[in-house]
Chains A and B, each alone.
Chain A
């Protein structure tokens, strides 16, 4: 009789194998962000959908693991951080599968989803250890507006009020913000605090930000949590506003103001917001991200005109500051983030004809040009792409004045009519101000056209290239 039974040996072997596999599994955190309505939800839905339904009429030719036949399968698994909201994949996908299909509800706040991707390793050392490897992909979705708050960390309440006041006085904003500024100027900063008054004014400021964002199409919204509060809605920490009359304020008296005065309370809440909200986000989430995709909708700001587009440019500059960390920067010393790949994606590429994609990319390239240089220096790999998470149009050709012209056909978002058109060219360079006088953009918004089955892949443009850049290198 053998001392060790054969079955036991097998069991031990299997266990050892499992253990080895588990230690060899890889994790990667992919962060998806972008200003609101830039298509984050659609992007994540499409990405997950493509991976889960791979093999069922999927179009992932530029995603190497699929292309080389090493992709086995992907599935959703319970997420790691239980205190973060789950990304509602099923509801989002359902909206594409409804009759008629619609765009999914926008998410506000941070949410997470975890995918396990099985594949056959080939290039890396892993191939000597196992036949199949698993990549855990944590997808985190958070509003790009939150990144706009980063510069606040370096500002005092006084500095922030002044810069915001200057912003409110700017061309695009001055008209709408006048009533609020007058109200704030009438306040007595050293009077004892009236919570209700503070809440009302903060509400008014928040409404103003909403107007800026959704009516004027502006992008620089500070503080970002005001319009996308997440779980902090109605908390006193979000009830403050810039004090606009610092010039007439005695700085000594301001310094000595107690927290129970109006100005003192505003200052206290600002400091608390910085510490509790802004810093917390970077500490808790941002430092864990490995890869980042920033989605930007360049077409809507072009539609809205010069001020809106310039605002987008400024907002992207502010967002990029979060990634612009070198060894010397204060930001890096505070949080030590580790993002090593950054993808900039111009969404809604299906809203213009294919030969304009190149222009869309070069336009976005110019928006991020400055930072790109610095990031290259910091060896963060960066790329720009024109993508469409869910393709809503068909490409074709037509004749215009006897000349062939590429055209799109799709369902208009506003009246659901089918329309065939050449939507107009995309400027290749940042438009000069003289340009806006003679040129008006009018890109039509489209709705998803085809009803999609739950087990089918959504039609897309270049999601596979985005995947390849973001995590293809981890699946060698």
Chain B
């Protein structure tokens, strides 16, 4: 009907046959034209599967043995315990129960937040593929999904705007672009404000703290809080492991940032720091630390954002301006 010009047969699933280098037959085989199937594309999922390789078999046996032994010890302990002193044993039993409960809840939370994080990656790859004009996913559905994940105080206002501006005539690419610049930009603004706030705090705290070790601890604490807050703005609730994964991701991204990016970022920074350094060595030190926080924040934003920035990703410069304004306001005699 719609596609009457390209006769295309859609299948539900691509059957995957074990790929060997040699076809299993030597003689010619003619297929019906409708039997043609596109070659399976290397999906992201496949790549991830390869990454998650199973641990070595020795480790697995060791783990199995350990678990078996623990279970055996436990039953042994309770059987003998109930025989000797039932009250103490039942107290132990309750303690074990409570610990299991707490542990289970923690594990569940960790797993949930880890899943959330990998789901976010999925959404990102989907929106990337839509922007690259692959008609594999429905853009409207995706945007709705993103809206559901965003914190509710942001979505309530935006939902109305979205309903007003999104028209049925828009193509998938246009829908994603529009969502990115109309809805997510307000979240971006909030996140940037947050990053600027934390960076300013770093600048001030480092500038006034007398000992280096306190500097480091302060910086660590503020940065962790910032990553949490920024992720929260984009609807990610971080647990321990998911936070570590995100931080790992952020640092890897920082390390692999392109040379040009570093030069533009730090060229400007150094200039600012040098100027300030003439005024005060402490302040310059603080500003350097603040810039690091800001860089970390920007990277966190771009990793948490469900739709990647298209062309106007936030620059360090934007945040630096904000920091300087805030500091000026702080120092200004009232």
- Does chain B have a CB within 8 A of A211? no
> Is B2 a contact of A357 with CB atoms below 8 Å?
no
Given known pairs A422-B1, A425-B2, the reply for A59 and B167 (CB within 8 Å) is: yes
- Does chain B have a CB within 8 A of A10? no
Q: Which residues of the other chain, A, contact B170 by a CB distance below 8 angstroms?
A: 354
Which residues of B, 161-183, contact A by the 8 Å Cβ criterion? Answer: 165, 167-171, 174, 177-178, 181-182
Among A354, A403, A427, point to the contact of B171 (Cβ < 8 A): A354
Q: Which residues of the other chain, A, contact B24 by a CB distance below 8 angstroms?
A: none
State the majority secondary structure of interface residues on A. Answer: mixed
> Is A62 a contact of B178 with CB atoms below 8 Å?
yes
Q: Which residues of the other chain, A, contact B182 by a CB distance below 8 angstroms?
A: 61, 67
- Does chain A have a CB within 8 A of B4? yes
Among A62, A425, A427, A461, point to the contact of B169 (Cβ < 8 A): A461
Among B165, B169, B177, point to the contact of A354 (Cβ < 8 A): B169
Q: Which residues of the other chain, A, contact B1 by a CB distance below 8 angstroms?
A: 400, 403, 405, 422
Please give me the residue from chain B that is nearest to A355 by CB atom: B2
Q: How many A-B residue pairs have CB under 8 A?
A: 44
Please give me the residue from chain B that is nearest to A349 by CB atom: B169
Bound complex: CA of A395 vs CA of B181, how far in Å?
Answer: 24
For residue A347, give the distance in angstroms from its CB to the closest CB of chain B: 14
For residue B172, give the distance in angstroms from its CB to the closest CB of chain A: 10
Q: Which residues of the other chain, A, contact B171 by a CB distance below 8 angstroms?
A: 354, 357-358
- Does chain A have a CB within 8 A of B5? yes
Bound complex: CA of A395 vs CA of B140, how far in Å?
Answer: 15
Q: Which residues of the other chain, B, contact A425 by a CB distance below 8 angstroms?
A: 2-5
Kindly name the residue among B169, B178, B182 whose own CB sees the greatest number of chain A CB atoms within 10 A. B169
Bound complex: CA of A235 vs CA of B5, how far in Å?
Answer: 50
- Does chain B have a CB within 8 A of A297? no
Please give me the residue from chain B that is nearest to A465 by CB atom: B174
Please give me the residue from chain A that is nearest to B173 by CB atom: A358
> Is A405 a contact of B2 with CB atoms below 8 Å?
yes
For residue A114, give the distance in angstroms from its CB to the closest CB of chain B: 29
List, sorted by A's number, 7 A–B pairs whose CB atoms are closer than 8 Å.
Answer: A349-B169, A358-B171, A396-B168, A406-B2, A425-B4, A461-B167, A461-B169
Given contacts A59-B167, A354-B169, 11 further A-B contacts (CB under 8 A): A62-B177, A67-B182, A349-B169, A353-B2, A356-B2, A396-B168, A403-B1, A428-B5, A428-B6, A461-B167, A462-B169
Chain A residues in the interface with B (C-beta under 8 A):
59, 61-62, 67, 349-350, 353-358, 388, 391, 395-396, 400, 403, 405-406, 422, 425, 427-428, 461-462
